[in-house]
């Protein structure tokens, strides 16, 4: 029985050492130490051995059992550590792989152009003012020297919200709102949405304008020309030519439209400028004394100029966009180009 015990010891320890994974280790444990295990049986049978051998046998068998138990424990720890290691190796992140590039949004081309225009005038000392898109007829027309029976009202195809209330057809009503709130001098630049019943390749029922107003003692048409020329050079480039053509607006006198030399053909004549060499970009003039009356400004002491430019048109010119509607369809493939 002694020899048998020694053989079992060697066999069991080898089986434990050879167990390649936790499952085969458990199989070995059951085989030697389980309820019907080899060692368990031996220990159970110690009582049947000759009396004088029993103590030694019992002691040896217990020793072997202890050795096998601790060998199993050790092996188990090693195998568990290996499992964790394998897992870690599998989950390892390759830090040298290129990352996923986040896609950045950016400002809409219209917003970019509005910011650029207002920045240029801010540099000349104008502050930014705004007014409501839904406007009363009083601010949109009457106070701008355009009473209900005035033929110039027909120039604007107006969206009516209800009697007396319109979607503003231009940013000029903000001139009056600012003057009502501010004693002269004032210098404001007013970006905003405007609305007219109109739709083709170069007209959208909703479009954008930037209004400008400067009122002070001694402001003349020379200041108007100077400011707008400076603006044109800053926005379109130093070699841009400007010209003023006489025009009519009820709220300015004298009035003019300003053209710039065609940004595409430099004045030679092309499709964009309809072979004229010039592009109209804004309306302007000296503030009408009637308008000052509505604002409670003394037109004997103060003079001023105002202008209003079409932002959408300028964005189209700047980026060679052939239809205004591209600007409002929110097609990311289009917008991404700016
Ligand atoms: N409000 C005019 C327009 O829509 C432009 C303008 C503004 C003209 C200010 C003169 C002075 O078209």
- pLDDT (0 to 100) of residue 202: 76
3-state secondary structure of 13: helix
DSSP 273: T
What pLDDT is stored for residue 337 in this prediction? 87
The total number of residues shown for the chain amounts to 338
Atom 9 of ligand 1 has which residue's CA nearest to it? 307
> Which of 283, 261, 315, 331 has the alpha carbon at shortest distance from 112?
315
41 and 183 share one domain: no
Mean pLDDT of 101-117: 91
Q: Name the average pLDDT for the chain.
A: 91
pLDDT above 80 (res 166): yes
Same domain (yes/no): 176, 264: yes
Is 251 a member of any domain? Answer: yes
225 assigned to some structural domain: yes
Minimal CA–CA distance to 216: which of 287, 130, 291?
A: 287
Q: How far apart are CA 252 and CA 289, in angstroms?
A: 8
pLDDT of 52 above 70: yes
Tell whether 19 is covered by a domain. yes
Residue to mutate (ligand 1; options 145, 173, 255, 283; most atoms within 8 A of CB): 283
pLDDT in tens, 252-291: 999 999 999 988 888 888 887 889 999 999 999 999 999 9
Helix, strand or coil, per DSSP, at residue 213: strand
CATH number at residue 119: 3.30.930.10
Alpha helices in the chain (DSSP H): 2-18, 22-33, 38-45, 54-91, 109-122, 137-140, 173-181, 221-236, 289-295, 311-319, 332-335
Regarding whether 302 and 217 lie in a shared domain, the answer is: yes
Q: Is 104 contained in some domain?
A: no
C-alpha dist (Å) from residue 157 to 195, 221, 244, 301, 310: 9, 30, 25, 35, 16
**Residue nearest to ligand 1 atom 4, measured at CA:** 170
Instruction: State how far the Cα of 197 lies from the Cα of 98, in Å rounded to an integer.
Output: 52
Per the model's pLDDT, the better-predicted residue between 317 and 125 turns out to be: 125
192 and 64 within one domain: no
Strand partners, 203: 200
Domains of the chain: total? 2
Q: What is the extent of the structural domain holding 287?
A: 109-335
Edge-to-edge strand list for the sheet holding 127-128: 127-128, 186-195, 206-216, 303-310, 278-287, 252-261, 242-249
| One domain for residues 43 and 178 | no
Where a domain ends, among 62, 91, 120?
91
Residue closest to 277 by CA, chosen among 295, 290, 259? 259
Chosen domain end from 59, 91, 123: 91
Does 60 share its domain with 171?
no
* Statement to judge: residues 149 and 236 lie in one domain: yes
Tell me: pLDDT of 109 over 70: yes
Of the pLDDT bands very low, low, confident and very high (cuts 50, 70, 90), residue 54 is: confident
Over residues 201-227, mean pLDDT: 94
pTM over 0.75: no
Domain membership flag for residue 309: yes
Same domain, residue pair 78 and 122:
no
Assess contact for 140 and 166: CB atoms under 8 A: yes
Q: How many CB atoms neighbour CB 153 within 10 A? A: 18
Residue 54 and residue 173 share a domain: no
**Does residue 232 form part of some domain?**
yes
The response to whether residue 307 sits with its C-beta less than 6 Å from ligand 1 reads: yes
Quick one: 10 and 124 in the same domain?
no
C-beta neighbour count of 98 within 10 angstroms: 5
Q: For the segment 142-154, what is each residue's pLDDT rounded down to a tens digit? A: 999 998 888 777 7
- CA–CA distance, 276 with 265 (Å, rounded to integer): 10
Final residue in a domain of this structure, among 56, 91, 126: 91
Is residue 117 classed exposed, middle or buried when 0-12, 13-18 and 19+ CB atoms within 10 A define those classes?
A: buried
Query: Is 146 touching ligand 1 by the criterion CB < 6 Å?
Result: no
Residues 28 and 149 in one domain: no
| Alpha-carbon 54 to chain mean position | 87
Residue 8 lies in a domain: yes
CA 33 to ligand 1 centroid distance, Å: 100
- In a domain, residue 15? The reply is yes
**123 shares a domain with 86:** no
Instruction: Measure 283 CA to ligand 1 centroid, in angstroms.
Output: 5
Instruction: Please state the atom number of ligand 1 nearest to the C-alpha of residue 309.
Output: 5
**Where do we find the tokens 């031996």?**
42
User: What is the predicted pLDDT for the residue at 155?
Assistant: 63
């Amino acid at each position: 029985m002694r020899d048998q015990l020694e053989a079992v010891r060697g066999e069991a320890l080898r089986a434990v050492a050879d167990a390649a994974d936790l499952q085969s280790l458990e199989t070995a444990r059951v085989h030697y130490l389980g309820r019907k295990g080899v060692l368990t049986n031996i220990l159970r049978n110690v009582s049947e051995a000759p009396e004088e051998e029993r103590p030694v046998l019992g002691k040896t068998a217990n020793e072997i059992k202890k050795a096998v138990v601790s060998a199993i424990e050790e092996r188990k720890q090693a195998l568990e550590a290996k499992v964790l290691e394998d897992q870690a190796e599998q989950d390892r992140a390759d830090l040298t792989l290129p990352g996923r590039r986040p896609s950045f949004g950016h400002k809409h081309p219209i917003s970019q152009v509005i910011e650029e225009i207002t920045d240029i005038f801010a540099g000349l000392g104008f502050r930014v003012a705004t007014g409501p898109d839904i406007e009363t007829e009083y601010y949109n027309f009457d106070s701008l020297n355009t009473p209900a029976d005035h033929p110039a009202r027909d120039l604007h195809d107006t969206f009516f919200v209800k009697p007396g209330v319109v979607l503003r057809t231009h940013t000029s009503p903000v001139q009056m709102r600012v003057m009502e709130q501010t004693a002269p001098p004032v210098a404001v630049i007013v970006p905003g949405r405007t609305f007219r019943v109109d739709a083709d390749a170069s007209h959208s029922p909703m479009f954008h304008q930037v209004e400008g107003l400067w009122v002070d003692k001694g402001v003349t048409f020379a200041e108007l020309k100077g400011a707008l020329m400076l603006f044109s050079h800053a926005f379109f480039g130093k070699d841009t030519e400007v010209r003023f053509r006489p025009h009519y607006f009820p709220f300015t006198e004298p009035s003019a439209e300003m053209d710039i030399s065609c940004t595409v053909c430099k004045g030679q004549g092309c499709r964009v400028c309809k072979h004229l060499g010039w592009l109209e970009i804004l309306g302007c003039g000296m503030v009408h004394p009637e308008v000052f009356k509505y604002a409670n400004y003394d037109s004997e002491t103060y003079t001023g100029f105002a202008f209003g430019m079409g932002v959408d048109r300028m964005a189209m010119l700047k980026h060679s966009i052939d239809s205004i509607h591209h600007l409002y369809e929110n097609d990311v493939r289009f917008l991404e180009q700016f």
